[in-house]
Structure 1
Amino acid sequence: MKGAVFGQLSFCFEAAIFSLEFVMRVLKKILVLAAALMLAAASYVHAAADLTGLRSSSGTARDRIVFDLTEMPIYHANISEDGRELTLDFANVNAAKLNRAAIRTKRIQSVSYAKRNGHFYVTVTMAKGMSYRIGNLTNPFRIFVDIASEGAAKSEENPAVKPAQKPVERPVPSDAPPQEMPAYIKVLQEHGLLGDVDPRDVSAGRVLPVSRVTNLGQGLQMTTQVWQDEDGLVTAFFIEADPQFYSVRPALARGYIPGRQTVSGIARATNAAAAINASYFAPNGELIGVTKIDGLVVGTTYFDRSAFGVMEDGSFIFGVVSYNGTVKIDQTTLPVSGVDAERGENNLIIYNRAYGRTTGTNPYGLEYVVRNGRVTEINTNDSVIPSDGYVVSVHGSSMDAFASAGVRVGDPVTLTEHITGAFDRAVQVVGAGPRLVENGKVHVTAGDEQFPGDIRYGRSPRSAVGVTKNGMIFFAVVDGRQSHSHGLTLTEFAEFLVKQGVRDAVNLDGGGSSALYADGKVQNFPSDGTERSVGSALVLQKK
């Protein structure tokens, strides 16, 4: 009996050892296989987007740089502030075999290369007065950059946007290996921009353009459109709002100046149904553009530029605006240099309740606190701004003029402010520019409004506010500098707006600032890779 029991125990023990050895062998094989798969995947990723060649050519109309690739990579393009340095940022691209050619022509001053943090950068420095366009080609995969004199690089008109076609039926053999989609198609899928459309049809160019409309509630509709022109993909997002149900107004980042906040942050703080980035702004968030909120001027600029306005009766106006202001203390009258902005040399700046608690100025000036039309305090700097008044802050010659007049506490003060034409009576004003559409026709005024190169030249992410022919409020954003959307020139953007039935429109700040918020989130994909903090936004609020 003992022997039988011992035999059973011995058998169980040996079986356990065998089972353990078997499990260990299986685990070892799994680990080896996993390591092999990881190496294979790494090799695939590394080899999936090889930058194999760089070519250039020069013609009478343009210079062209062509990048040869094994697959279309995800890339971003950035233009310098002066519009002369174009940098292509390639992610996960192997450029080891690339012949880094030195390129110099009348239009191209230099081409430089850099590798940082797994990214490969190519910077093209253009001669003054040049513009560019970027395009993608397939079979084989190529990215090209055309450099030409301003306006000469404009592409053909985009095809009219129409509803998506039904995907083409085609037999697929059951044993056929799955086909790898190009990287830009994967991006469209990941962003949810294709809806139910088969990505293979998009890759083959059978179903573009794609248009998807989402009803966000009574009187509010969002549309996403993806189309393809000769240079690659373009992706646009726009909101149409019925003014019967929604009002539109500018809103400040964090509710005051200076300050910066994301468009989504501003939208949530104001309980907005939708929002879009608005005016240009300084690094500290001060607005660069004539801006009025609920009748209070909160931003100015030295340039006469296009603006969008809302009248007291709810009607909308578009046009070029300028600000003119004067301050009269006792018998001395001086011009206003700006409103809610940093005080500069010889300036007279008005600080009102939109600027926050204090002026934040340095001690090299004088400040007159005004309530009920009279000077109530005289300080050297950093005065507390009254909620029921304002501060007149002066420096240099402006300070000397009031000081020599012997201004004292109790002296009467008259602040006179005027904005061009009907904008003087508007309750809401957003100054940005240039004008894009006037009376249903393309009307781009970038040159007349003296915009710098980073706004005027090339294709970029764009934002605009407009009104359609049937009176709808229209917010639009076009993504750019990315593989799912190369962006648009100002003229191309204006043409797109006209095709959507827009009657009048003004360009807003663009580039990495372009962001459209709706349905609780930012709908587009900002070119910085994340939302940029901005100085202000236009918000749609339910009435």
Structure 2
Amino acid sequence: MNKSRITAITLAFLLLWASLAGAAAPTTAPASAPAAESAAVPAAVVSKIRSSQAADKVRIVLDMTAVPAYKVRLLDEPLRLVVDLEGAVNKSGLTELKFNDPLVGAARLAQAEPGKLRLTIDLKQAVIYNVFSLKAPNRLVIDLVKVYEQKVTQEVMPGVTYTSWLSGRPYGPVSAHILTVDLKQGFVLQPVLANGVVQGLDTVAAMARACRAVAAVNGSYFAPTGEILGLFKLDGEIVSTPPLARTAMGVMPDGKIIIDQVTYQGYVQLSSGERLVIDGVNRERGPDELILYTSRYGVTTGSNIYGIEYVIVGDEVKAIKTNDSVIPADGIVLSAHGRSAQALAALKVGDKIKIHQSLGPVWDKTVHVLGAGPMLLKNGSIYLTTKIEEFGSDVAGGRAPRTALGLTKDGRVLLVVVDGRQPTSTGMTLLELALFLQELGAVDAMNLDGGGSSEMVVNDKVVNKPSDGRERKVGSALAVISARLAI
């Protein structure tokens, strides 16, 4: 980390502590005699070292004959707090304290150089600190504070506010970014595909610029190719489907947002009346599957030679190919393998065929849908669907960077990004994220893609710190757009 970043982190934490404690900056030392006279003052002696641990802080205390001038520095790489005491010696018989704590590792007291005693505290994560002296008896106290809070809210434009929220929690610091949107003031939510296709990859900032969004966050899960892994509907067209029912957000024709678990059902109806289930839309075809491809997927299906494909335009079979068919702009391609291919074997060019797709009576009315999951809140209560939706440890495991969507009782939208995997922000578990959304006033909420993908852009600026150290190219975004610009 460069010096400017170290300075910024140090200054931010010092200013935050000053605002919380109302105390002088932690580097403040007690008044001391002029340098010319200090040689005549007996050395300050550390007679005892002790510590205590609590949910809100770790405290280290040096019992001393006198508290000398001292200097405090917060260093990075490795992260540590260093306190240098002028003209002090250690006669406590103890040189090291070890801690079983998520924030503090060990504290060591050693002679840095003649006439200077150094206390070095190894930190696992950034903390707010306060160093001060007490008299009768003389003590130097170092508080490493875990629980604190600082919020800064600014209006992006009427109806949209952005809040940066730095908080200390018993398990570590958390940096969160909250966008609050009042849809009634002329805004809509709109999913965005990277480069306009299912197999696209781009940064959230680039997607936000492309649709002239006020703000945006990352959206659905995606494969390395950019292929959307979940439900996606754009302008009334089902663009991608998940292998099982998972949580999604939908945009109704009036702009209202709904959140629920959604099931895709699709089938092909032959002229004979026989029906064949569609296994998925715009994803790689698997064994015995029937996959429907639209032009949103790309130019061709990219399929292998072990199946058969039917090019359909206007409910009529226009061509039959083995693989990698060109997808017509005004039609679809049905790609079949194994049992599905056998069921369609009698189809000929010119035959009629009907495609039926549904998300259910309510969700069929949606204009746009973006799926991810699991659900976090339902009707004001914690409602984690992690196991029901079969999410693995890559999504559900431990604290990580997170992105979420919440809805308040009065219809406002909350877009939340929590930084993680950094000394300045440890991230959240799904349960912690659900509780946080509840704290913010959400009654319904869902998890979006997270990890290195978690990102928030406001007015063309990335406001959070992606854990990769840079913007990751992702498959989709969820944008806040002025209603007059929405298409």
TM-score w.r.t. the length of structure 1 is: 0.63
Structure 2 unmatched runs, 5+:
1-71, 81-99, 109-119, 129-142
Of residues 177, 183, 191 in structure 2, which corresponds to 1:243? Answer: 183
Pair 1:373-2:315 in alignment: yes
**1:135 maps to which of 98, 102, 110:** 102
- The one-character-per-residue Cα deviations of 1:102-146 (angstroms, maximum 9, x if unpaired) are xxxxxxxxxxxxxxxxxxxxxxxxxxxxxxx993138849xxxxx
User: Could you tell me whether the CA contact under 8 Å between 1:73 and 1:183 is conserved in 2?
Assistant: no
> Among residues 157, 160, 164, which one is paired with 1:220 in the alignment?
160
Match in the other structure for 2:285: 343
Alpha carbons 1:137, 1:231 under 8 Å: kept: no
Q: Following the alignment from structure 2 to structure 1, what is the Cα–Cα distance between the partners of residues 199 and 461?
A: 25
For 1:289-368, what aligned pairs fall within 5 Å after superposition?
289-331=230-272, 332-368=274-310
Q: Is the counterpart of residue 273 in structure 1 residue 240 in structure 2?
A: no
- TM-aligned CA deviation for residue 276 of structure 1: 0.9
Matched with 1:423 is 363
Aligned-partner Cα distance in 2 for 1:351–1:456: 31
Aligned residue pairs total: 367
How many Å separate the matches in 1 of 2:127 and 2:442? 32
Quick one: structure 1 residues 484 and 330, their matched pair in 2 at CA, closer, same or farther if it must change by over 3 Å?
A: same
SS in 1 for 2:205: helix
Match of 2:227 in 1: 286
Amino acid at match of 2:281: V
Distance change in 2, residues 1:318/1:73 (3 Å):
farther
Whether contact under 8 Å (2:146, 2:172) holds in the other structure is no
What secondary structure, in the 3-state scheme, does the structure 2 residue paired with 1:209 have?
Answer: strand
2:174 and 2:424 in contact (8 A); partners too? yes
Q: Deviations over 1:349-378 (max 9, x none)?
A: 111121122112222222111111111111
Kept in 1: contact 2:103–2:124 (CA 8 A): no
Tell me the distance in 1 between the aligned counterparts of 2:318 and 2:438.
Answer: 53
Q: Residue 89 of structure 2 corresponds to which residue in structure 1?
A: none
CA–CA separation in structure 2 for the residues paired with 1:466 and 1:229: 22
CA contact (8 A) 2:104 2:124 kept: no
CA distance in 2, matches of 1:207, 1:309: 37
CA 1:349/1:252 → structure 2, altered by over 3 Å: closer, same or farther? same
Aligned-residue offset at 1:455: 1.6
Q: Is the 8 A contact 1:277 1:516 kept in 2?
A: yes
Contact 2:146 2:170 in 1 (8 A): no
Which residue type is aligned with residue 304 of structure 2? N
Q: Which runs of 5+ in 1 are unaligned?
A: 1-69, 75-90, 95-132, 142-178, 188-202
Name the CA shift for 1:464/1:134 in 2 (closer, same or farther; >3 Å): farther
Task: Give the drift of 1:93.
Answer: 7.9
Of 490, 501, 510, 2:450 maps to 510
2:419 to 476, 479, 484: 479
Q: Residue type of the partner of 2:159?
A: G
Q: Which residue of 2 aligns with 1:18?
A: none
CA distance in 1, matches of 2:171, 2:147: 17
The CA deviation at 1:465 is 1.1
SS in 2 for 1:466: strand
CA gap of 1:207–1:255, structure 2 versus 1, over 3 A, is same
Match of 1:488, SS?
A: coil
Deviation at 1:329, TM superposition (A): 3.1
8 Å contact from structure 2 (residues 148, 169) kept in 1: no
Q: 1:183 to 1:443 in 2, by over 3 A?
A: closer
- Name the CA distance, whole Å, in 2 between partners of 1:476 and 1:206: 22
Matched, 1:523 2:466: no
SS at match of 1:135: coil
Question: How far has the Cα of 1:424 moved from its partner?
Answer: 2.3
2:379 to 436, 439, 453: 439
Alpha-carbon deviations, 1:26-51, whole Å to 9, x = none?
A: xxxxxxxxxxxxxxxxxxxxxxxxxx
The 3 A distance-change label for structure 1 pair 344 and 72 is farther
The equivalent of 2:198 in structure 1 is 257
Matched residues in 2 for 1:305 and 1:71: separation? 49
| Bigger share in strand | 2
**CA 1:394 to 1:373, structure 2 compared with 1: closer, same or farther past 3 Å?**
same
Contact 1:347–1:396 (CA<8 Å) still a contact in 2?
yes
Counterpart of 1:417 in 2: which secondary structure? strand
Report the counterpart of residue 61 of structure 1 in structure 2.
none
In 1, Cα distance between equivalents of 2:340 and 2:254 = 39
Q: Superposition RMSD on alpha carbons, in Å?
A: 2.9
* C-alpha separation in 1, matches of 2:302 and 2:291: 12
